[in-house]
Every structure is written in C-alpha cells, then in structure tokens.
Amino acid sequence: MTDIYDVLKTFDTNSVVIECGGHLGTDTTKLCSFFSDGAIHCFEANTDLYKNLEGLLSKHTNLKLYNLALSDENKECDFFIDCNKDGDAGASSLLEASNSFLRMYIKDEKKITVSGITLNSFMTQNNIPTVDLLWLDVEGFEYYILNSSANALKKIKYVYTEVNFQEFRKTGKLYNDVKQLMIGNGFEETHSWTQGDLWGKWQGNILFKNTNI
C-alpha cells in the first residue's frame, strides 16, 4: 500500500469519519470525496485555519466542521501555535514544543486558549453510535486523546494516527506508547508509513484495526 488512501478505497462510501485536525483541508477534501454518502466530522482548533476551512469546504454537504480541540478533558485548554510568518500554523498542539524543537523549527510559539472536548463526549453529544475511521494528526497529543477514550474506542473500527519517534513536544508520547495503548484496547496494527527519514527516526503514520468489530 503506497498510502492511506489505497486502504480507504476498500471502505464503504457511507463511512463515518472523525478527522482531527483539518489544517489546510487537503485531506478533508479527499475524505469528503471518498465518503460521498457518509459523514465527515472535522476538528480544527486554530480559529484562523477553521475560518479558511469554512470557505474552502463549504460545498461539501457531508462535512461538519468544529472549532474545537479534541482533547482528554472537557474544558478550556492551552493551545500552542506556531505564529511565525514563515512557520507552519498546522504544527500547533495542546502540548508545548520541546526546547530542541523550538530551536530547530518553531521560532515564535504563542499560547492561546481553546475549547476542548473528549471523544467520548463528542460522540455522545452528536449521537454518533459508531465510527468507521478516526483520523488523528494532533502533533504529539494523540496518545492522550486515545487514552481518555476507552468507551469511544469500542465503537470505532479503524484509527489512523501520526506517531513520533522523537520528543517534539513536552510530555509527548512515542510510537511504542501509542501501540501498546491500542493493543490494550483491542486493536492491531495493520499498516504503517514513514514520514521524512527512515522508519523509527522521525515520524510515521499507523493504521490500527479494532479486532472486536
């Protein structure tokens, strides 16, 4: 499999997807097209990016956007944004950048406050009984979302998540932490893709399948 979309071709077009975060809408647009008969729920905590997504993706009737942070608690959260004009606003996180990451990549990080919601609460409040795909790209906070979502994970068929092999964010968990957590919740790793360098050096993406569904 060359990328995640080769796998998604095998999914039903009426699949329910939760994507976090939306960033520039590139993957969101593809997901809306792939699952034209389904429902895409997209989170973007960065208000500026969220407003851009509203205009960019307004034609997709199968999409709902949320200016929220998918989190491990239902409360206001600190959110760290790369606000350098030459930086990457998509590289924002609920975790503060590590000192080495700040020196290398983020030159101007700003802390703001955003509203956070857990996956359990979100699915309950929006009457979502099952999810075919949970898509997580939240810059190191993936573990914390998954760790607080035991009840929700029982109703999710697949989880596609970014994983890290270095500590880019303070208190960020690494690949093996995420893998063991998912195994403990009844998931198995089915596919993996590297980002940047060789596997195990930088970042990667993993697809986990719920073995109980």
Tens of pLDDT along 41-52? Answer: 999 999 988 999
Tens of pLDDT along 67-126? Answer: 999 999 999 999 998 776 555 555 789 999 888 777 677 777 889 999 999 999 999 999
Q: Does the reported pTM lie above 0.85?
A: yes
User: What is the Cα–Cα distance from 197 to 202, expressed in whole angstroms?
Assistant: 6
Residue 31: pLDDT band by 50, 70, 90 thresholds?
A: very high
pLDDT at 23 over 60: yes
Model pLDDT, residue 190: 97
pLDDT at 183 over 80: yes
- Domains of the chain (ranges; CATH) run 17-73+118-210 (3.40.50.150)
Model pLDDT, residue 89: 53
Q: What angle do CA 89, 94, 95 make, to 5 degrees?
A: 100
Q: Which residue has the higher pLDDT, 99 or 13?
A: 13
pLDDT at 166 over 60: yes
DSSP states of the chain: --SHHHHHTTS-TT-EEEEE--TTSHHHHHHHHHTTTSEEEEE---HHHHHHHHHHTTT-TTEEEE-SEEESSSSEEEEEEE--TTS-TTS-BSSPBPHHHHHHT-S-EEEEEEEEEEHHHHHHHTT---EEEEEE--TT-HHHHHHT-HHHHTTEEEEEEEEESS--BTT---HHHHHHHHHHTTEEEEEEEEESSSTTTSEEEEEEEETT-
Q: In the chain, pLDDT over 90 holds for what percent of residues?
A: 78
User: What is the Cα–Cα distance from 84 to 97, expressed in whole angstroms?
Assistant: 14
pLDDT at 2 over 90: no
